[in-house]
């Protein structure tokens, strides 16, 4: 199998539709939503839920190709589920990354179910994203004492055998879309959060498990919302769990502790699938900034003379060409990582590489664009300064740049986590 670099026709068609949405619905209200942090854009959410259902499903989760009714497909198509999702996310983030993060769908919560859930759990929990009302899901892993070191989580799940329920206690912070996923709104369907907890603290990573906690579960409460530098249209919540009871069957993975680190590997498998998607989001922001810069340079009659020797280029021309190289190389890493995911190949190395590269590239490109634009780049007259603020999160959530560099180093050098920290 080989990687195809030409955009498949179904993806190109979806990109055309989403670009219209990005230009006319997202860009036009980006500034307002940035300034009115924590307000929910119900109109956008309802429109996107309807639109995404019409183009192949209501969830921001990969859809597997299925044979047509009455027989096999005439021609087996290469799998493009994750490539399609990466392209969709890149385009929506080009419109506005904060808006993208409030697009209805499963997000990390659905990805965890997809990666670690049983077929029955996937059918039960993922089907609701295709229902009439828009629905959200979130993943709760980070804690005050367990940020990058996810194996240090202290949230505890204890089995109440008499009731056949898990009792969960702990507090999770920095939960993206946590408020919309857990709190009930008349306009939304019933969402859920996926809470990572330990069923045996003495077992370390082997005791880690994920639990689906449905919206409205007693004992679970959104206790705060973060005020942030960027992605301000998206809520980032703190969620407390006090004697929260969830059904026994809501555990993702085995309910018994084994000597292997199966539970921890389930978490990492989730990140292997989603880190390239985070990278795609950052690339969308970087592309927005670079295209804006080139547009403004053209208006000022500054020409980028491609094909000349580097020593004959102006400083601005060199900067713009370097930015384009960085952007394209980052996108190629994303394409490789999602191609491997689509073809069910282990992609831990490629996933982290794409995340590291995109985090660096989006930060550098937006910063350089502001620098070249000068006072206008710093001004709130344009969205460039907002994209600069939005960019840095790519290097932080779903594994910081430092952590992903560690993952890459361990993969390349063949070291374990204990050997290289």
Its sign, for the CA torsion 277, 282, 288, 294, is negative
Task: Give the Cα separation of 411 and 404 in Å (integer).
Answer: 11
Residue 146: DSSP 8-state: B
Neighbouring residues of 238: CB distance < 8 A, sequence distance ≥ 6: 171, 172, 173, 174, 175, 178, 222, 223, 224, 225, 226
Secondary element (H or E) of residue 236 = strand 236-247
Task: Output the CA–CA distances (angstroms, integers) from residue 224 to 144, 178, 240, 366, in the order listed.
Answer: 14, 10, 9, 30
User: Which one, of 209, 184, 48, 53, lies nearest residue 121 by Cα?
Assistant: 209
Torsion angles phi and psi, residue 344, rounded to 5: 55, 40
User: Which one, of 49, 45, 83, lies nearest residue 63 by Cα?
Assistant: 83
The b/e string for 274-305 (b: 16+ C-beta within 10 A; e otherwise) is: bbbbbbbbbbbbbbbbbebbbebbeeeeeebe
Q: Tokens 């990390």: give the residue.
A: 108
The alpha-helical segments, DSSP class H, found in 118-242 are 119-126, 178-182
Asked about 398 being catalytic, the answer comes back as: yes
Task: Give the Cα separation of 304 and 311 in Å (integer).
Answer: 14
Task: Give the Cα separation of 43 and 22 in Å (integer).
Answer: 14
Indicate which residue of 143, 179, 398, 419 is catalytic.
398
User: Which one, of 271, 248, 406, 405, lies nearest residue 348 by Cα?
Assistant: 271
Neighbouring residues of 119: CB distance < 8 A, sequence distance ≥ 6: none
Residue 133: exposure state from Cβ atoms within 10 A (0-12, 13-18, ≥19): middle
User: Which one, of 364, 368, 365, 353, lies nearest residue 401 by Cα?
Assistant: 353
Q: Report the largest interatomic distance among the alpha carbons of the chain, rounded to a whole angstrom.
A: 78
CA atoms within 13 A on the CB side of 175: 32
Question: Which active-site residues does the annotation give?
Answer: 398
């Amino acid at each position: 199998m080989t990687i195809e670099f030409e955009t498949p026709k179904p993806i190109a068609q979806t990109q055309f539709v989403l670009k219209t949405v990005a230009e006319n619905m997202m860009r036009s209200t980006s500034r307002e939503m940035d300034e009115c942090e924590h307000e929910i854009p119900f109109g956008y959410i309802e429109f996107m839920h309807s639109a995404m259902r019409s183009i192949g499903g209501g969830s921001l989760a990969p859809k597997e190709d299925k044979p047509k009714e009455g027989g096999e497909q005439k021609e087996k198509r290469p799998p493009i589920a994750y490539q399609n999702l990466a392209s969709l996310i890149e385009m929506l983030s080009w419109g506005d990354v904060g808006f993208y993060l409030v697009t209805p769908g499963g997000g990390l919560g659905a990805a965890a179910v997809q990666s670690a859930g049983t077929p029955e759990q996937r059918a039960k929990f993922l089907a609701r994203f295709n229902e009439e009302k828009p629905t959200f899901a979130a993943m709760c892993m980070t804690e005050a004492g367990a940020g990058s070191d996810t194996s240090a989580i202290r949230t505890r799940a204890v089995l109440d055998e008499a009731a056949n329920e898990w009792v969960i206690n702990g507090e999770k912070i920095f939960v993206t879309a946590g408020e919309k996923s857990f709190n009930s709104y008349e306009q939304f369907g019933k969402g859920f959060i996926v809470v990572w907890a330990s069923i045996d603290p003495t077992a370390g990573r082997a005791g880690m498990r994920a639990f689906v906690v449905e919206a409205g579960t007693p004992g679970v409460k959104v206790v705060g919302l973060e005020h942030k530098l960027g992605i301000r249209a998206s809520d980032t919540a703190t969620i407390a769990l006090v004697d929260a009871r969830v059904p026994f069957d809501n555990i993702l993975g085995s309910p018994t502790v084994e000597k292997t680190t199966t539970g921890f590997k389930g978490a990492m498998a989730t990140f292997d699938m989603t880190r390239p998607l985070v990278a795609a989001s950052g690339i969308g922001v970087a592309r927005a900034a670079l295209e804006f810069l080139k547009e403004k340079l053209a208006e000022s009659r500054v020409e980028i003379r491609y094909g000349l020797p580097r020593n004959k280029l102006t400083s601005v021309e060199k900067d713009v060409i370097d930015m384009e190289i960085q952007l394209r190389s980052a996108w190629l890493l994303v394409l490789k990582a999602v191609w491997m995911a689509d073809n069910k190949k282990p992609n831990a190395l490629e996933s982290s590489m794409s995340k590291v590269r995109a985090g660096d590239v989006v930060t550098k490109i937006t910063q350089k664009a502001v620098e070249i634009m000068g006072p206008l780049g710093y001004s709130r007259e344009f969205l460039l300064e907002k994209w600069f603020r939005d960019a840095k999160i790519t290097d932080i959530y779903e594994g910081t740049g430092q952590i992903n560099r560690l993952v890459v180093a361990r993969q390349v050098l063949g070291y374990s986590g204990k050997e290289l920290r």
